[in-house]
Copies of this chain bind each other. A is one copy, B any other.
Amino acid sequence: MYLIRVAEALRPRLALLCWMESMGDQTTRLQRSEKPPPPVMPAMFGRYEAMVGGELSQAVPLLPPPELSNVMRYHLGWVDRRGQPAASPASQGKALRPTLCVFACQALEGDPALALPAAAALELIHNFSLIHDDIQDQGYERRHQPTVWSLWGAPKALVAGDAMRSVGDLSALNCAGVGVPPAVALRVSGILTESYLEMIEGQCRDLVFETKTTITVDQYLEMIALKTGALIRSAVEIGSLLATGDSATTGAFANFGSYLGRAFQIRDDFLGIWGDEAATGKTTDGDIRQRKKSFPVVYALENSLGPARRELSRIYGAGNQDEMEESDIVRVREALDQVGAAAQCQLLTERSAGQALEALLGVELAPWARAEMEELVHFLSHREF
């Protein structure tokens, strides 16, 4: 904790160095089960929540068929399956992408209002991709509630997803309506659409991985850079573009977003195996049961030796669709422990977090913005949910 507090209080370059050095220390502490308390959600999430929420609720009712609107609003956690206002916002996401977008804009002294249409678009396009993903994966639960296709059937889920994407696209195009120059608004929509295509490419690569046990860590990192990283990077890049026309700055922000996306995903992979069910909302052992080839597994498949490697290859073997035996879950956890996969996750998350902050070293930022940037990176790479 001491090192982290020092890091947060000091200037960026020093902060970076401290972070890099604290990695080994934290890993040791983790092994002694003296985990530091998890970081709380940074204030920026609360600061932009009402703005982004307002923009989203303006964007979504655009569509006339009330039934379709309800399906979209249900997925967004606003109403229950009967269309009644949801009792609690528990089923809503963190709104990470819109928050990143508005924050990137404001950090560069841009007007956050200019970023709101794009922020709403990012959240809607992220959610559209989740609706379609759930159809593809036949997933029954998302954010503690039944998935759209499992309630209304795949055809309606497909259309609701398509509609949500269109509503998102329109929101991005509407940038120009709040004073963004048309050429910049075009670029915003272009970045958004290109990053969505990268997401699809990532999904395709991920599907190919399902049939292989010889995936390298590098191949895995390339895949997540597309599948998860692209939209997170585009959120940050778009936010910066709405504040400045300086391409060195927007390029630096894009790099920051890429590394942040990696830290976010690897932390997600960690939580999927070692996270607390009550905090994550995901079933313990869920990722193992589903034979998800997340970072820890890919690392273990590449680095384990002897019987552990053979067992992992058998369990994660191509075409293995059987329900996983409890004894195999134990074997997987043993194999992961043997190669120190948890510590490797932490190490890579910390390294990516460090690289994210490093990418911004050349950019002039107000002290408050730099401090919040560090708080954000720290939260995303240490979160428990």
Chain A contact residues, CB within 8 Å of chain B? 62-65, 67-68, 132, 135-136, 154-155, 158-159, 162-163, 165-167, 169-170, 173, 176, 181-183, 185-186, 189-190, 193-194, 196-197, 200-201, 203-205
What chain B residues lie within 8 Å of A67 (beta carbons)? 204
Of the residues B68, B176, B193, contact of A183 by C-beta under 8 Å: B176
28 A–B contacts, CB within 8 A, in A order: A63-B201, A64-B201, A65-B200, A65-B204, A65-B205, A67-B204, A68-B204, A132-B162, A136-B158, A158-B158, A159-B203, A162-B196, A162-B200, A166-B193, A167-B197, A169-B169, A170-B190, A170-B193, A170-B197, A173-B189, A173-B190, A176-B183, A182-B182, A182-B183, A182-B186, A185-B186, A186-B186, A186-B189
- Given A185-B186, A197-B166, A135 and B159 touching (CB < 8 A)? no
A166 and B172 CA atoms in complex are apart in Å by 14
Minimum CB–CB distance for A285 against chain B, Å? 25
B183–A155 contact, CB under 8 A?
Answer: no
A165 and B158 CA atoms in complex are apart in Å by 14
What chain B residues lie within 8 Å of A65 (beta carbons)? 200-201, 204-205
Minimum CB–CB distance for A175 against chain B, Å? 9
What chain B residues lie within 8 Å of A190 (beta carbons)? 170, 173
- Which residue of chain B has the shortest Cβ distance to A66 in the bound complex? B204
Minimum CB–CB distance for A242 against chain B, Å? 15
What chain B residues lie within 8 Å of A196 (beta carbons)? 162, 166
A214 and B252 CA atoms in complex are apart in Å by 61
What chain B residues lie within 8 Å of A154 (beta carbons)? 135, 154
B163–A200 contact, CB under 8 A?
Answer: yes
A194 and B63 CA atoms in complex are apart in Å by 10
What chain B residues lie within 8 Å of A194 (beta carbons)? 170
B170–A176 contact, CB under 8 A?
Answer: no
- Which residue of chain B has the shortest Cβ distance to A189 in the bound complex? B173
Of the residues B163, B176, B201, contact of A197 by C-beta under 8 Å: B163
A158 and B186 CA atoms in complex are apart in Å by 26
What chain B residues lie within 8 Å of A182 (beta carbons)? 181-183, 185-186
Minimum CB–CB distance for A136 against chain B, Å? 4
A200–B170 contact, CB under 8 A?
Answer: no
- Given A136-B155, A185-B186, A204-B159, A62 and B167 touching (CB < 8 A)? no
What chain B residues lie within 8 Å of A166 (beta carbons)? 193, 196-197, 200
What chain B residues lie within 8 Å of A173 (beta carbons)? 186, 189-190, 193
- With a 10 A CB-CB cut-off, give which of A155, A181, A190 has the most chain B CB atoms: A155
What chain B residues lie within 8 Å of A185 (beta carbons)? 182, 186
What chain B residues lie within 8 Å of A189 (beta carbons)? 169, 173, 186, 189
A222 and B176 CA atoms in complex are apart in Å by 31
- Given A190-B170, A193-B166, A159 and B183 touching (CB < 8 A)? no
Minimum CB–CB distance for A19 against chain B, Å? 34
A193–B205 contact, CB under 8 A?
Answer: no
A197 and B61 CA atoms in complex are apart in Å by 12
What chain B residues lie within 8 Å of A193 (beta carbons)? 166, 169-170, 173
A155 and B133 CA atoms in complex are apart in Å by 9
